[in-house]
Amino acid sequence: METVSTNVAHGGTQGVYKHASKETGTEMTFSVFVPPHAEGAKLPVVWYLSGLTCTHANVTEKGEYRRLCAELGLIFVAPDTSPRGEGVADDAEKAYDFGLGAGFYVDATEAPFAKNYRMWSYVTQALPALVAERFPADMQRQSIMGHSMGGHGALTIGLTFPDRFKAVSAFAPIVAPSQVPWGHKALPGYLGDDKAAWRKHDAVALIEDGAKVDGLLVDQGEADNFLAEQLKPQLLEKACADAGIPLTLRLQPGYDHSYYFISSFMEDHLRWHAERLG
């Protein structure tokens, strides 16, 4: 692991790091904020998954999480959204919603993406192992959140590993990629035409198929231009109601899809996670 940069913030350390990933076959960059803590202490970990076109840098620079993570004693980890580098496959038309920056947190099975696009294994296995080795992380106390495509990733990963993640939340998530244009492009492109494989990467489908968590927190801006066509939180609301999963869905008037929205409600989400992480 190579240190790209470190900065002191709110008494803790904001670091950016890179390492060679066996899962993606590329170098991967990620950021970690470690709050001030007593020597030898182990701290709970909050994972944040970013959305389309983003890298680790978007939330690191705009998320406004450090003050509260320092107060609550939370490690905050932000991975990248896809593999990158020379030779990594991209969309032929360089579209923003598929290929580089748009890994959708799946392990691709379709050529040419299967070689490098293994973001599911990277986020759920490889990077946690590195974080556990190199940072004062209590891996028995983990939670996960994300935005948009990263909200999709946080929901699907949280629903798949409910014993690992003590809290799951999202900002403007893609709740049912099998039912919206973004997913109709990404899921067959990465996973092929077998819709049964899609269901493992669709929060609504996972819930319909029996996945359970103790509760979910979702914030959604009412002025989000992707709300009606791509996000459709009402589908998650119905699935949770049918399955008996407590869902706190908050529609926020005037807010859009940007980091102005995310940073406005980041404190609520971190406090919600901290309560469940203990």
Token look-up 């496959």 returns 89
Report the chain's terminal Cα–Cα distance, integer Å. 30
CA 253 – CA 151 distance, rounded (Å):
19
Distance of CA 108 to the CA centre of its chain: 17
269 is a catalytic site residue: no
Sheet strands (E) in the chain? 2-9, 12-21, 26-34, 43-49, 75-78, 137-147, 165-171, 216-221, 247-252
CA 269 – CA 143 distance, rounded (Å):
11
The DSSP call for residue 231 is: I
Strand partners, 252: 221
CA 157 – CA 161 distance, rounded (Å):
6
Residues 133, 32: contact at Cβ < 8 Å? no
For residue 154, what are its two tokens?
A: 């946080």
Q: Which of 169, 224, 269, 273 is catalytic?
A: 224
Strand partners, 168: 144
Q: Which of 31, 143, 148, 169 is catalytic?
A: 148
Asked if omega into 112 is within 30° of 0 (cis), the reply is yes
Q: Which of 147, 257, 269, 273 is catalytic?
A: 257
For residue 41, what are its two tokens?
A: 């202490």
With DSSP H G I counted as helix, E B as strand and the rest as coil, what are the percentages for the chain, rounded to 5? Answer: 40, 25, 35
The catalytic residues are: 148, 224, 257
